[in-house]
Chains A and B, each alone.
Chain A
């Protein structure tokens, strides 16, 4: 039961093999037993989950028809949940309870899903290893000397460890796809604007996007259908019909044109990762797809442009944490400036401070044109690279990360950490969707294949991922409980 997909669990519930309460309490027990070391959860909401499960069982007895009703999941602690702490992985919000639910949380509740709790993450989603959390690092369930990736590291680890069949994550520069790759699960970053950002604590508003993390593309399709859609409370969400993401899953791939960006197979790519990705491409060829090389010539500018735009937006988004109205406040401030300085100095961790400083600097008078404006120009070029490539091919494929999960504590230098996101960051700058699917292992550590599509081509991405998962079983592998305990 702990490693079944949502789709299988839904069948089990429907068939009466087990109740929602049995499923939920079994997962909660497992979390309690095994998460002490993995540390994938910040808050576990047992009582709420069990009463929601009881309600789901009662509804089912009365003829419940919602496909996701009674199924549990975990929610990244960046989504506001009414009456439950929403910490964003930060000391700053350790005491914060939102008085409202994020739109996606509302939607999942409306679909009848049950939240088990809030998952660990890099503070304010800034990080690629989940080592920047106030609540401590998360360990990779496949190899507990390795990081789970970040920033949605808790969500990825929880799914991999058999704590939750699925989880919500967010992705600003790879934060769904890279941890999905490191933990051997499937993670989808939707098109910017596809999923409401209301109630999702902002890191970099023009890049942030929530999305599903699960054990299969099919499960991601279920979840995306539940959370996508226009939201009047988010002006940047797009008023566009939400298709049935399950409808195209079984479309054959014969004739599919796959582009391999040559820039994604260059220096710095780990040999084992490259070999796994090349093998995955062969699987697609065997399914009838045509493969060719393409170029995304501005790829090398993505990381620098991102590290101007994202910190600029973050420096402004994080100004509200000032110790005045909510969140951490220092003891006995002597005056206003002292209140601001000490509350923020104590409440934020190093990486958050680093990015606030970078962002404040790049937006400053005299630097704005050289940094922010230039980065926006680069952003348009990067977007154009993708538009040009999609003139020739249907989807792009490559590695989700240059290496498998690295060791905890291995990357001390921020820039080497930033380069982890070299294959994921450009996707956020362009606003297109991307999915990472399990495609092999380097020793014990999983490897993720990244598939990229045109804006709003989620149905196609899910189809392409699903067909791979029909032909392979990488996504059905899970760490044994010996490894997990």
Chain B
């Protein structure tokens, strides 16, 4: 039988506010346990939450970025359950009236196929703390657990999609799209390793052509693009095998274990909590008027899809280049700054994705912290475009800029004498010298079949370039060499 995979995602995005969603404690990552949890985060008796306006603004910006409805009124509710790292015994979240309504995200798949994924809603909520089991276990493997409440109260935007994805690849493309939007908006650092973007994946399968959805399993704790793909692939295979063996998928929550590369059952529907949602009486409904929403709209930057489309249509970049250069806001901004200086999109694209990206990757530096500024790179490309230097010298100049050995391409070209030699007389003199110094190679060349000479000429080009310290114009060297060698 042919099976179809159906995937819906809940993406939890940690919002980049300075303080927590309902308290003034810092949200900075990596502090000593329980040093960033105030009385409110600890859920001490008598404390009350006060909503962080920054989190509201960020949620609204996200909503506007996905063309979603922003309801006039949204409501915080309490989701009640007991867990040691949930200090109040409830999570303040949104259920019936979320801050962001229905919207849409466009994905670009490998072969430039576009797909629209519907967003059911997005809501604000507070994060829980963390339970640390390993550190505190005794030698028999049980005993104490530690609780770190630094994360408790960190604002999360939970983005809930419709079940519109049909493969693991689409799911990954969707998460990448969300990641791009939130990082473009600067409402999250998008750091998946630190948990700034976490996914719950709902997976089901159904016979191809069937309308009704199969029973789904929810996979929790999938925190990298790769794990999302692996978890879905494992789960789809598990469900298909189960059904084909005459079994039934049960609705349950499963956990992805990256070490074993498998999903395991956490709890079934019967064991699920009744969260007893009800409106939080400590918080007022959030009322947003159109002036507020329009103000937030005016702060929106150009978004990834818009940028990508513009790179393709206005700048004439390839689908691939446009995708890579618009993938993150810092990359796009760097590229556009280079382009502003040099004026040639294709060259700017090549340099950013080629030399620059190779250097950045090698030294694991973020493009935002690149030692070569976009202005420097743009200046360098200008000198290539106006033939002041050749490609080989350009790489030397780039390396010098990278190592901070000069303030600009022009300065390095000057001090190192890398200006391209285009004077025919000077090049001829160098060629004559090389021919005179290489009698054996000249004889071999001249004895060879004309078809083979093309390859053999490389040796002489290399020698001439070496003699010019890389500054001779390679096209001229090639033409003149051919003339002189073939003459005799």
- Give the interface of A toward B (CB within 8 A): 79-80, 86, 88, 93, 96, 98-100, 102, 197-202, 204-206, 232-236, 312-313, 315-316, 318-322, 324-326, 336, 340, 360, 363-365, 368, 372
Chain A CB within 10 Å, residue with most, of B46, B90, B147, B278:
B46
- List 14 other contacts, CB 8 Å, given A205-B281, A363-B277: A80-B44, A88-B45, A96-B45, A198-B48, A199-B47, A202-B46, A235-B282, A236-B284, A313-B281, A319-B90, A322-B84, A324-B147, A325-B43, A326-B44
- Chain A hits for B147, CB < 8 A: 324-325
Task: Show 26 A/B contacts (Cβ-Cβ < 8 Å), sorted by A.
Answer: A86-B45, A86-B46, A93-B45, A102-B46, A199-B47, A206-B281, A233-B48, A235-B48, A235-B282, A235-B284, A236-B284, A316-B89, A316-B278, A319-B82, A319-B89, A320-B43, A320-B44, A320-B88, A321-B45, A322-B89, A324-B84, A326-B44, A336-B84, A340-B82, A363-B277, A368-B278
- A-facing residues in B66-123 (Cβ within 8 Å): 78, 80, 82, 84, 87-90
Q: Would B82 and A322 count as touching, CB distance under 8 A?
A: yes
- Among residues of A, the one whose C-beta sits closest to the C-beta of B24 is A233
Q: Is the CB of A99 within 8 A of B44?
A: yes
Contact (Cβ within 8 A) A233 B50: yes
Give min CB distance, B21 to chain A, whole Å: 13
Question: By the criterion CB–CB under 8 Å, are A325 and B42 in contact?
Answer: yes
Residue interface mask B192-204, A partner, CB < 8 A = 1: 0000000000000
B269 in the interface (beta carbon within 8 A)? no
Pairwise interchain contact A235-B39, C-beta atoms closer than 8 A: no
Contact A316 B276 (CB under 8 A): yes
Whether B45 and A363, one on each chain, are in contact in the complex, defined by CB atoms closer than 8 angstroms, is no
Contact A235 B283 (CB under 8 A): yes
Partner of A197, one of B44, B48, B80, B82: B48
| Residues in B lying within 8 Å of A, measured CB to CB | 39, 42-51, 78, 80, 82, 84, 87-90, 147, 274, 276-278, 281-284
Q: Are A80 and B48 in contact (CB under 8 A)?
A: no
Closest 7 CB pairs of A and B: A319-B89, A205-B281, A363-B276, A206-B281, A199-B46, A201-B45, A320-B43
Complex CA–CA separation, A312 to B221 (angstroms): 32
Shortest Cβ gap from B298 to chain A (Å): 27
> Which of B39, B47, B80 has the largest count of A CB atoms less than 10 A from its CB?
B47
Neighbouring A residues of B43 by C-beta, 8 Å: 320, 325
* Chain A residues in 8 Å Cβ range of B284: 235-236
Bound Cα distance A372, B277 (Å): 11
Q: How far is the CA of A325 from the CA of B89 in the complex (A)?
A: 12
Q: Cα distance A197–B281 when bound, in Å? A: 12
Q: Is the CB of B45 within 8 A of A100?
A: no
Residue ID in chain A nearest B149 by CB atoms: A325
Inter-chain CA distance A315–B45, complex, in Å, is 14
Bound Cα distance A325, B88 (Å): 10
In whole angstroms, what is the CA distance A115 to B276 when docked? Answer: 40
> Which residues of chain A are near B78, meaning CB under 8 Å?
316
Provide the bound-state CA to CA distance between A298 and B284, in Å. Answer: 26
The chain B residue sitting closest to A101, CB to CB, is: B46
Closest to B76 in A: A235
Min C-beta distance of A349 to chain B, whole Å: 16
Tell me which of B88, B276, B281, B283 contacts A364 (CB under 8 A).
B276
Q: Select A232's contact among B46, B50, B276, B282, beta carbons within 8 Å.
A: B50
Chain A min CB distance to B34 (Å) = 10
- Whether A205 pairs with B46 at a CB distance below 8 angstroms is no
CB distance from A187 to the nearest CB of B (A): 21
Instruction: Report the separation of the CA atoms of residues A236 and B283 in the bound assembly, to the nearest whole angstrom.
Output: 7
How near does chain A come to B283, taking the closest CB pair, in angstroms? 6
Q: Which residue of B lies closest to A326 (CB)?
A: B44
A96 to B47, CA, bound (A): 14
Q: Are A320 and B45 in contact (CB under 8 A)?
A: yes
**Residue in contact with B50 in the complex, picked from A235, A321, A364, CB distance below 8 Å:** A235
**In the complex, chain A residues whose CB is within 8 Å of the CB of B39:** 99-100
Complex Cα–Cα for A10 and B51 (A): 41
Complex interface: chain B residues within 8 A of A199 (CB): 46-47
- Which residue of the partner chain, among A99, A325, A365, A372, contacts B274 with CB atoms under 8 Å? A365
Docked pose: A200 CA to B44 CA in angstroms: 11
